[in-house]
Amino acid sequence: MKKIVVTVATVTVVGLGSAFFTDSIHAEPNQESIQDERSEIKADLSKAESEVADVLLNIEKLNEEVEELNDALEKNQKTMKETETEIEEKEEQIETLKQEISDLEEKIEKRYEILKERAVSLQKSGGDIGYIEVIFGSKSFSDFINRISAVSKISDSDQKLIEQQEADKQKVEEQKVEVEDKLAELDEQKVELKGMAETIKEQKKVSKEKVEQAKKKEEELNSKIAELKLEDEELVALQAEVEKSLEQSEGTNNSINVASTSNNGGDSSTTNKNNSKESKSNKKKSQASSKPATSSGSGNISTAINAGFAHLGTPYVTAGKTPSGFDCSGFVSWAFAQAGYNIPSYTGALAGVGTKVSYANAQPGDLVFFDTYKTNGHVGIYLGGGEFIGAQNTTGLAVADMTSGYWKDHFSGHVRRVR
């Protein structure tokens, strides 16, 4: 961009100061240069807009994934509640069965006492002595029952009582085992559901992070598009200025030719002086637009401010820190190094160096920050008069206006003074 500005300045000077040259003033190559650069910008714009479209499609897809994960998580939570409810029911059943078993054991104990009394009564009434031995020789109730059956010294009613007791106990035990197995199964299912919920949450987190990254990419691309559109607008204005200069130049040549013919070769010294004077005036204006800024600070700061002017147009290179290629923070760090200052070479650290000052009190040499793809995502060196010099990712190292357009919109007032 700076190259084009210098070319325009040259065209203006040559156009207005070449009254005695032919009508061919080499304007066409300059217009072609501008048009070529506009074509490149439009190509970049088309590519960036295509990338934005792709990013938007990706965001839509990711949002659908998040919604699907939300549905899955909701179903998981519903199943979890149902499982917990069923676990509570089974736990209540187990408590009920435990109580039934406890009641049955009391009944068994009472029946045991009854059977003992009956056995003693049988013995007293002349029964076989072996029956007493069965009672006192048994080691457990089951052993006792086996002994009773073995000696066959019990009545039919006692036998039915024993059989019913054993059946009741077996039934309760089976129910207890069944419920405990189901409870264990539900507990395992609950653990599995919790694990699934954690997995879904993690997937949801990753998907959301991808959405944020995609949105960040969209913002970066939109910022790039805004910069490209801004640059294209500047080139349109520049092209109009070139065309205007060409028209003025052609008009001046035509007027001089008419005057020369009407005066029949008269004295043209006055015309030459006027044209020369006008050319010098335009040249001074042109030179003033690209003149390095002066600093109200120390000589070292002036060195940092002016260091970049010899390298205007240096291409933007990510992580670039030398005149062969700069990124924004790399240029700032390099420029201050030329003045003997050792400052960081990335924006995150530069945003905290020196002293913070208000934009109203900003001086040439202060660092100015812009909220591009992130807070303080871009940095440059303030030149005064609302201008700064910095490595822009579209134009390379250039002087830019921060009082209007893209840079004004992205400047939040963050200014740091290194000295």
Closest CA to 7 of 377, 286, 320, 299: 286
pLDDT tens digits, 204-246: 788 788 888 888 888 888 878 887 877 777 777 667 767 776 7
Between CA 101 and CA 275 the distance in angstroms is 121
Between CA 62 and CA 70 the distance in angstroms is 12
Q: What mean pLDDT comes out for the span 63-81?
A: 81
Q: What mean pLDDT comes out for the span 103-112?
A: 74
Between CA 201 and CA 54 the distance in angstroms is 26
Q: Which residues pair with 400 in a beta bridge?
A: 388
Between CA 79 and CA 189 the distance in angstroms is 10
Between CA 31 and CA 8 the distance in angstroms is 9
pLDDT at 269: 45
Q: What mean pLDDT comes out for the span 133-146?
A: 66
Structure tokens at 175: 């129910």
Whether 305 and 383 have beta carbons less than 8 Å apart is answered as yes
Buried-exposed string 45-83: b where 16+ CB fall within 10 A, e elsewhere: beebeebbeebeebbeebeebbeebeebbeebeeebeeb
Between CA 69 and CA 208 the distance in angstroms is 11
Between CA 222 and CA 231 the distance in angstroms is 14
Per-residue pLDDT at 141 exceeds 80: no
Q: Which of 208-222, 250-264, 281-295, 405-419 has the lowest mean pLDDT?
A: 281-295
Specify the pTM.
Answer: 0.34
Structure tokens at 291: 């003149």
Q: Which residues pair with 382 in a beta bridge?
A: 388
Q: State phi, psi for 353 to the nearest 5 degrees.
A: -80, 160
Q: What is the DSSP letter of 346?
A: S
CATH code, 293-419: 3.90.1720.10
pLDDT tens digits, 292-347: 444 344 448 999 999 999 999 999 888 889 999 999 999 999 999 999 999 998 88
Per-residue pLDDT at 52 exceeds 90: no
Per-domain residue ranges of the chain? 1-118+177-291, 293-419
Q: What mean pLDDT comes out for the span 355-363?
A: 96
Between CA 293 and CA 48 the distance in angstroms is 34
End-to-end CA distance of the chain: 31
Per cent of the chain over pLDDT 90 is 23
pLDDT at 419: 79
Q: What is the DSSP letter of 263?
A: T
How high is the mean pLDDT of the chain? 74
Per cent of the chain over pLDDT 70 is 69
| Other CB atoms within 10 A of residue 263 CB | 11
Between CA 414 and CA 417 the distance in angstroms is 10
In the numeric block, the tokens 């160096």 are attached to: 353
Q: Residue 148: which pLDDT band, with cuts at 50, 70 and 90? A: low
Q: State phi, psi for 388 to the nearest 5 degrees.
A: -145, 160
Going through 168-239 in order, the beta strands assigned E by DSSP cover none
* Identity of residue 46: S
In the numeric block, the tokens 């204005």 are attached to: 237
Max CA pair span of the chain = 174
Kindly give, in sequence order, each residue whose CB lies less than 8 Å from that of residue 353, ignoring residues fewer than 6 positions away.
Answer: 343, 344, 367, 416, 418
C-alpha dihedral, 226 to 229 to 230 to 235, nearest 10°: 160
Per-residue pLDDT at 130 exceeds 60: no
pLDDT at 5: 42
Buried-exposed string 377-390: b where 16+ CB fall within 10 A, e elsewhere: bbbbbbbbebbbbb
Q: Which of 5-9, 358-362, 383-387 has the lowest mean pLDDT?
A: 5-9
